[in-house]
């Protein structure tokens, strides 16, 4: 199958390698670029906090770029959404990483609330290292539970629009059999591309594979029958759909 991977370049290249190993033909389309704010992350870590919460593996990339300043924080407990994010935190050097297996911020907030019920409420607030744009689910659920936390935005995803000369071969000249979506923002930007709008009919026979229902809602209703959601919010679950 010809599979179009819609995600940031570095992550997409890893996915492409996995697709080749599965004997598929990958094509990469990056519509957002991560921009790190290491100063914000460093300043956030310097404040008193009981634990760290992350909802994206991109945060681990920010933290790795801090260098030796991160060492003093590696014994801090990290709460992470999903195995991929937890693995990224572990690779960054954190010793204790607790993972919420759900696909969104609600599951992470629920994990934190249960942890506090079991082990008590710490005196210091939780440090939420976040990106922008982001869903407000996690923070809303913590607010509802009365949990003290501080949000520090340490990266942002900036949209980028490929030139028509680059985009046309990917989606028109060689139509994809499947499109992989890993985030709401990437899916939204994809369907906002003028060339996609112009050639929307060419996707009638394509499958839109989404890592979660939260992502799937960004696919236009006309393709509802072509949307398939991963049984688990992981890349392994997503690739199993192929």
Residue whose structure tokens are 């990056």: 30
Residue-wise pLDDT for 208-242, tens only, equals 999 988 899 999 999 999 999 998 878 888 999 99
Report phi then psi at 138, rounded to 5.
-60, -50
| pLDDT for res 206 | 96
Beta-bridge partner residues of 4: 27, 179
| pLDDT for res 12 | 92
Residue-wise pLDDT for 98-117, tens only, equals 999 766 788 999 999 999 99
CB 65 within 8 A of CB 38: yes
| pLDDT for res 103 | 65
- Can you read off the two tokens belonging to residue 60? 């681990």
- Angstrom distances, CA of residue 40 to CA of 46, 66, 71, 118, 119: 10, 11, 17, 31, 30
| pLDDT for res 10 | 85
What sign does the dihedral 192-193-199-205 (CA atoms) show?
negative
Nearest residue to 56 via CA among 141, 188, 154, 126: 154
3-state secondary structure of 20: helix
- Can you read off the two tokens belonging to residue 97? 């990483």
| pLDDT for res 179 | 98
Q: For the chain, list the domains and their CATH numbers.
A: 2-31+160-239 (3.40.50.10090), 34-157 (3.40.50.10090)
| pLDDT for res 205 | 93
Low-confidence ranges of the chain (pLDDT < 50): none
Beta-bridge partner residues of 75: none
Say what angle helices 57-64 and 38-46 make with each other, to 10 degrees: 90
């Amino acid at each position: 199958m010809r599979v179009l991977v819609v995600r940031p370049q570095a992550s997409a290249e890893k996915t492409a390698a996995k697709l080749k190993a599965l004997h598929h033909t990958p094509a990469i389309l990056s519509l957002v670029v991560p921009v790190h704010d290491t100063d914000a992350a460093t300043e956030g870590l310097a404040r008193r906090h009981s634990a760290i919460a992350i909802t994206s593996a991109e945060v681990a990339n920010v933290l790795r770029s801090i260098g030796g300043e991160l060492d003093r924080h590696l014994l801090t407990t990290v709460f992470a959404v999903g195995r991929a994010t937890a693995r990224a935190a572990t690779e960054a050097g954190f010793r204790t990483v607790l993972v919420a297996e759900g696909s969104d911020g609600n599951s992470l907030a629920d994990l934190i609330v249960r942890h506090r019920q079991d082990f008590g409420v710490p005196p210091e607030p939780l440090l939420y290292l976040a990106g922008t744009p982001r869903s407000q689910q996690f923070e809303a659920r913590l607010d509802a539970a009365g949990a003290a936390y501080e949000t520090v935005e340490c990266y942002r995803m900036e949209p980028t629009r490929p030139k028509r000369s680059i985009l046309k071969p990917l989606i028109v000249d060689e139509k994809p059999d499947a499109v992989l979506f890993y985030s709401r923002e990437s899916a939204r930007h994809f369907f906002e591309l003028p060339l996609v709008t112009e050639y929307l009919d060419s996707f009638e026979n394509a499958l839109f594979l989404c890592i979660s229902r939260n992502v799937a809602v960004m696919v236009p209703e006309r393709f509802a029958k072509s949307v398939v959601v991963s049984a688990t919010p992981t890349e392994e679950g997503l690739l199993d759909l192929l």
